[in-house]
Amino acid sequence: MAAGGGADGLLSDLRQYVVTRPIYNEPNFQEDNESIPGPSRTLRERAQQACSCSKKRALQITKTFFPILEWLPKYRVKEWLLSDVISGVSTGLVATLQGLAYALLVAVPVGYGLYSAFFPILTYFFLGTSRHISVGPFPVVSLMVGSVVLSMAPDENFLVVNSNMTGLNKTVIDTEARDAERVLIASTITFLVGIMQLVLGALQIGFIVRYLADPLVGGFTTAAAFQVFVSQLKIVLNVSTKNYNGVLSIIYTLIEIFQNIGTTNIADFIAGLLTIVVCMVVKEINDRFRHKIPVPIPIEVIVTIVAAGISYGVDLEKKYNAGIVKSIPSGFLPPEPPAVSMFGDMMASAFSIAIVAYAIAVSVGKVYATKYDYAIDGNQEFIAFGISNIFSGAFSCFAATTALSRTAVQESTGGKTQVAGIISAGIVLIAIVALGKLLEPLQKSVLAAVVIANLKGMFMQVLDVPRLWRESKADACIWVFTCIASIILGLDLGLLAGLVFALLTVVLRVQFPSWGSLGNVPGTDIYKKVTRYKNVVEPEGVKIVRFSSPIFYANIDGLRSSVRSSVGFDAVRVYNKRLKALRKIQKLIKKGKLKATKNGIISDSGTTNEAFEPDEDPEDPSELDIPTKEVEIQVDWNSDLPVKVNVPKVPLHSLIFDFGAVSFMDVVAVRAMKTIVKEFERIDVRVYIASHLDHIMRKLELCAFFDGIIQKEMFFLTVHDAVLHIQSQLIHRDTQDPIIEKISLMQESKEPIGFTETNQDEELDVQEEAMRRLAS
């Protein structure tokens, strides 16, 4: 029992703490605690360190640029090789089919999709830092490239007149010239995307992807999935439409699809519908039983092989006029330079594609890096994808990133490193060299259906909106706005609009931050909002204001408004009213109608006070511009005045600003804060600042915040330090009020009371003085 009691007592002691220390303001703390000076190096010293080279540094830089040198020597052949081989074969089969399918999104012959699934992997194997992502085409990026291709090479540019045997002229599309031009445009924009990514990586601008918040990316990819669905729907139905681009293009496409729906090819529609149903059902089985199935069922491969066999055996093209692949080139094309003359027309689109492709790859890569406890380098990923796209663009490929479904296959089948990726490239290579002819009878509707079936994950992101609305309404609005904007305006403008809207929500949240008055939890040093908790108590005569935001030029008005709302009065108005009251008191003292005694200022009995004015008199706007002659009479403004001047009561003697949530201040904020402090000081309200960060203090020193009135002694380490200091000052305050003595002496001298000419503007901020001059 004794032991148990001792344990209970120890546990009780651990649940509370008692600290005894001095009350610290900034000077006292600096005196007791020596600060560590920051490193001061000249520009020359920094340049020497950056340019210095040693064997160790050179090896480190080489490994950073070629991450394969870091992980390949540590490769566990016996443990990992078999898993990587199985994963590589499975991923390669999926990559082959997805390459063919995503080529339809780019509006190039499907064979070029195989090249795009092969070449990017070769360079990423050496330069990439993610061990699990599968590099290659992705629907969103492919569609963005396709929109540029269709806008620069529409069918209308390749119409030719064809004379048949009957002598009638017929306008047809020169598909050979059109396809060649579209392949050139796709490879050129891929080359330009690679250059941009390489430059951004070399400049260490990998942080730019942080501005693409998860809600923004979610809304954008969902809108892109809808765009992909509409673009593939016309292929599944085999309905011919115009190639629309720009604002409302997806709406025009849908309208034309439904207008021409009567021309639907039944064979293509049935094949596509069956493919979608079968693929989605089997994918659901793979997801639900992934712990029991060692290798996911490669349903896309199975469906494609079956569909190609049926199409070849039944001869669907001749009997039912089905749209088939027809021609897949065997082998590789020689590298070709990009059309540099087109760079100017595709610069903006290329930048959007570069950022989106990088963001998708890094987002997916970080998920698996966190899962398997390793890190990826954002800047090196920029370089890796940049070089991959430059290399791929030379071989007639379109832009590469990573596909979520393909990466999931590579990881779920046991892939450990990018050895699985290089093996998947080997499978694609076999398809390019030997199997292309076997897929020529395949219906395009089947490939389009494979694309649609892989959009399920992106469409399911819609379910995130209710959760986002509960957690953060601003993030939910970003998601919805970006999605709608990307659908209506197109992917390029939609992404830009979503980014601007997301940044605007951040600006608004900083410009109109939360604020509130704090009170003390009795018996503790804890301070919480008085409107949030019932038991918190505000110290008598003390107001504590917390402003939860950086303070800068855009939210200065919000800071002033929050201070006025917290304290319940306007310090400038109080000051002007006091000046007016002082003049009237001085006038009555000179006439002998008021005198000062030990009990205060009193009026002679029976004397009419000509200075009386009713409390309810409206305030004259001209009072705000009272001549700045300050009378040398001081009054206890919280007592009953002998004249009925409408002077607002000030129930405070101290105001504390809690700067614990203020991360930075700009020059305008420092000047405004200096003005606020002086406005309160001249109506006898002492101002204190607590819980400030060290760099805020340095900023105030640089901006000449301190002077004869504002000193460092008003800064305290915590709010509780400031409150204890105020309470100790109240205890030691003189019981004899010096104000009464001063007025009494002035009355006995029987001499006129002089005025001290002061310029009120000198006490205010320099910026306020300039504004007065501009207004006059």
Which of 317-331, 522-536, 733-747 has the largest mean confidence?
Answer: 522-536
Please give the pLDDT value at position 293: 80
Which 8-state DSSP code applies to residue 600? Answer: E
Q: What is the C-alpha to C-alpha distance for residues 66 and 395, in angstroms, rounded to an integer? A: 23
Nearest of 151, 136, 51 to residue 102 by alpha carbon: 136
For 280-284, 436-440, 448-452, which range has the lowest pLDDT when averaged over its residues? 436-440
Q: Of 114, 436, 441, which Cα lies nearest the Cα of 306?
A: 441
Q: Which residue has the higher pLDDT, 213 or 124?
A: 124
> Cβ neighbours of residue 713 under 8 Å, at least 6 residues apart?
25, 26, 27
pLDDT band of 618, cuts 50, 70, 90? very low
Per-residue pLDDT, 375: 86
* Of 577, 606, 576, 611, residue with least CA distance to 591: 611
Answer whether residue 641 shows pLDDT above 70: no
Give me the residue label for tokens 């931050």: 513
| Count of residues in the chain | 776
pLDDT given for residue 760 in this prediction: 41
Is residue 431 a part of any domain in this protein?
A: yes
Total of domains in the chain = 1
Q: Tens digits of per-residue pLDDT, 214-239? A: 899 889 889 988 988 998 898 899 88
In a domain, 59, yes or no: no
Query: In which band, very low, low, confident or very high, does the pLDDT at 644 lie, cut at 50, 70 and 90?
Result: low
Mean pLDDT on 284-301? 82
Compute the average pLDDT of residues 396-402: 91
Condensed to tens digits (0 to 9), the pLDDT of residues 241-269 reads 887 877 888 899 899 999 999 999 999 99
Confidence (pLDDT) at 123 = 95
Report which of 453, 316, 402 is spatially closest to residue 131, judged by C-alpha positions. 402
Which amino acid is present at 38? G
Domain span including residue 210: 80-163+175-221+327-441+455-503
**Alpha-carbon distance 132 to 86, whole Å?**
14
- For residue 741, what is the enclosing H or E element? helix 738-748
C-alpha–C-alpha distance, residues 583 and 586, integer Å: 5
pLDDT over 70, % of the chain = 84
Q: Which of 54-58, 246-250, 547-551 has the largest mean confidence?
A: 547-551
pLDDT band, very low/low/confident/very high, at 181 (cuts 50, 70, 90): very high
Residue type, 575: Y
Q: If DSSP codes are grouped into helix, strand and coil, which group holds residue 236?
A: helix
Q: What tokens does 381 get?
A: 């990923």
Q: Is residue 134 part of a domain?
A: yes
In a domain, 92, yes or no: yes
**Lowest-confidence region among 42-56, 291-305, 391-405:** 42-56
Residue 653, Cβ density class (10 Å: 0-12 exposed, 13-18 middle, ≥19 buried): middle
Reported as a pLDDT band with limits 50, 70 and 90, residue 622 is: very low
- Alpha-carbon span 587 to 753, nearest angstrom: 9
pLDDT of residue 756: 38
Residue type, 769: E
Q: Judge contact between 758 and 582, C-beta under 8 A.
A: no
Alpha carbon 367 to chain centroid, angstroms:
18
Alpha-carbon torsion, ordered 91, 311, 179, 142, to 10 deg: -30
More confident residue, 302 or 54: 302
What does the DSSP assignment read for 344-371?
Answer: HHHHHHHHHHHHHHHHHHHHHHHHHHHH
DSSP tag of 339 = -
pLDDT value at residue 190: 96
Enter the tokens of residue 178: 């059109």
C-beta separation of 401 from 357 below 8 A: yes
CB atoms within 10 A of CB 237: 22
| Percent of the chain predicted with pLDDT > 90 | 37
SS3 content of the chain, % helix, strand, coil (to 5): 60, 10, 30
597-to-331, 602, 603, 633, 739 alpha-carbon distances in Å: 110, 7, 10, 14, 11
d(CA 321, CA 373): 53
Assess whether pLDDT exceeds 90 at residue 719. Answer: yes
| 652 located within any domain | no
- Split at pLDDT 50, 70, 90, the class of 770 is very low
**Residue range 268-281: mean pLDDT, rounded:** 93
Give me the phi and psi of 326, to 5 degrees please.
75, -60
Question: What is the pLDDT at residue 277?
Answer: 94
Residues 400 and 354: beta-carbon distance below 8 Å: no
With 80 as the cut, is the pLDDT of residue 762 above it?
no
Q: Pairing between strand 654-658 and 686-690? A: parallel
Would 188 be classed as within a structural domain? yes
pLDDT in tens, 420-429: 999 999 999 9
| DSSP letter for each residue of 539-599 | PTTEEEEEE-S-B-GGGHHHHHHHHHHHHSS-HHHHHHHHHHHHHHHHHHHHHTSEEEETT
- Is 22 inside any structural domain? no
d(CA 421, CA 410): 8
Given this model, what pLDDT does residue 446 score?
Answer: 92
- Enumerate residues 6+ apart whose C-beta is below 8 A from 51: none
Cα within 13 Å of Cα(12), Cβ side: 6
**Cα–Cα distance for residue pair 86/295, rounded to 1 Å:** 9
The closest alpha carbon to 365, from 596, 526, 129, belongs to 129
Output 511 or 391, whichever has higher pLDDT.
Answer: 391
What is the per-residue pLDDT for 140?
87
Of 358, 370, 411, whose CA–CA distance to 217 is shortest? 358
Q: Which two tokens stand for residue 360?
A: 């998708």
Q: How confident is the model at residue 7 (pLDDT cuts 50, 70, 90)?
A: low
The confidence score (pLDDT) of residue 619 equals 46
Q: Is the pLDDT of residue 387 over 90?
A: yes
Token readout for 77 is 């052949």
Residue 558's pLDDT band, with cuts at 50, 70 and 90, is: confident
Strands 686-690 and 715-716: parallel
Distance of CA 733 to the CA centre of its chain: 52
Once rounded to an integer, what is the mean pLDDT over residues 696-705? 91
Residue 742 — pLDDT band, cuts 50, 70, 90?
very low
Question: Locate tokens 């310090």: which residue?
Answer: 571
Q: What is the pLDDT at residue 347?
A: 93
Domain membership of residue 550 (yes or no) is no
How many CB atoms neighbour CB 219 within 10 A? 34
What are the backbone dihedrals phi and psi of residue 693, each rounded to the nearest 5 degrees, phi first?
-85, 155
- Distance of alpha carbon 251 from alpha carbon 244, whole angstroms: 9
Helix (H, G, I), strand (E, B) or coil at 325: coil
Nearest CA among 739, 756, 759 for reference residue 747: 739
CA atoms within 13 A on the CB side of 213: 19
CA atoms within 13 A on the CB side of 217: 17
For residue 402 the two structure tokens come to 């990573």
Q: What is the largest CA-CA distance in the chain?
A: 128
Q: Model-level pTM?
A: 0.76
CA distance 401 to 357: 5
**Window from 4-8, 79-83, 725-729 with minimum mean pLDDT:** 4-8
| Band of pLDDT at residue 455, cut at 50, 70 and 90 | confident
Q: Write out the two tokens for 638.
A: 């919280």
Closest listed residue to residue 92, CA positions, set 385, 396, 410, 309: 410
First to last CA, the chain: 84
On average, the pLDDT of the chain sits at 82
d(CA 650, CA 573): 11
- Average of per-residue pLDDT across 546-564: 89
The predicted pLDDT at position 54 comes to 76
Answer yes or no: is pLDDT of 323 > 50.
Answer: yes
Of the candidates 195, 192, 194, 200, the residue with the CA atom closest to the CA atom of residue 341: 192
pLDDT, one tens digit per residue, over 582-616 is 887 777 777 777 665 544 555 554 444 443 344 44
